[in-house]
Amino acid sequence: MNRSPRRIQPRAVRLASPLVLLLATASGCCDLSRYLCGPEDSEWVSETFTTPERTIATLREAFRRDDHVAIFRCFSQRYRRELGIRGTTETYLVLDELKKQTPGLHMLGYAEVESMETGEDGSRSAVLAIRGRRIELRLVRQAYWQLAWLPDGEDGEARDAGGWLDSPEDLRRYVLLGGDDLETTVGLHLTTSAAPDLRLDQIRAAGVAVEWKVDGLVLLDQED
């Protein structure tokens, strides 16, 4: 007599059900309380400042990971001076105090961008919603120049120099645009007292750039 084989549920499958439930509960701990879970330690996926949106994304990720150095890089030069931050070391102390003064700031990494407006001066104002609270970020464009060169007659790592500019408009001092409708030429005028007479073959990198930085942070009225 042909009998259909009886299906036997593996013991491992039956025993795994409570374990799966336990893991699912544990994985949701950050949904219940992000703050108690602590900073993330997975690999960084972004740290760019090319647009206001990317700067906000970088800041949110830096807060999620409690990465004070990355947060420091998100702030403009002016905002650093206002907060009394001269370097990354002071960032730890200043941010701890800032979190005490701004309830909900420690959750900024999980905030949603509610709105963004453009100011008359070209700055951006973004409102982020964080668990019933709203935090407004002001973002500005910040320009800088960099120059790297290899010292004459020396081998090894290149030396470098650079600095922040007071305004993106100051780029006109360093960038020369020319050409016609068929061809555009770009010239750079970068000098440094450390190496005033560089030859072209000594230069390893030269350029100017503009980044978006956080220039202010304000806690708005609590949402209804």
What pLDDT is stored for residue 105 in this prediction? 82
What pLDDT is stored for residue 219 in this prediction? 84
Residue 107 inside a domain? The answer is yes
What is d(CA 104, CA 150) in angstroms, rounded to the nearest whole number?
48
Same domain membership, residue 181 and residue 150? yes
pLDDT of residue 54 exceeding 70: yes
CATH number of the structural domain spanning residue 134? 3.10.450
Same domain membership, residue 123 and residue 74? yes
Residue 12 inside a domain? The answer is no
Same domain membership, residue 126 and residue 163? no
No. of helices (H) and no. of strands (E), the chain: 7, 7
Q: Which of 191, 18, 217 is nearest to 135 (CA)?
A: 217
What pLDDT is stored for residue 130 in this prediction? 83
Number of domains in the chain: 2
Average pLDDT over residues 58-63: 92
Residue 16 inside a domain? The answer is no
For the whole model, what pTM was predicted? 0.72
Q: Which domain holds residue 82?
A: 44-141+212-219
What pLDDT is stored for residue 6 in this prediction? 44
Residue 25 inside a domain? The answer is no
In this structure, the dihedral spanned by the alpha carbons of residues 124, 165, 88 and 125, taken in order and rounded to 10 degrees, is -10
pLDDT digits (tens, 9 = 90+) for 118-147: 999 999 999 999 888 899 999 999 999 999
Q: How confident is the model at residue 78 (pLDDT cuts 50, 70, 90)?
A: very high
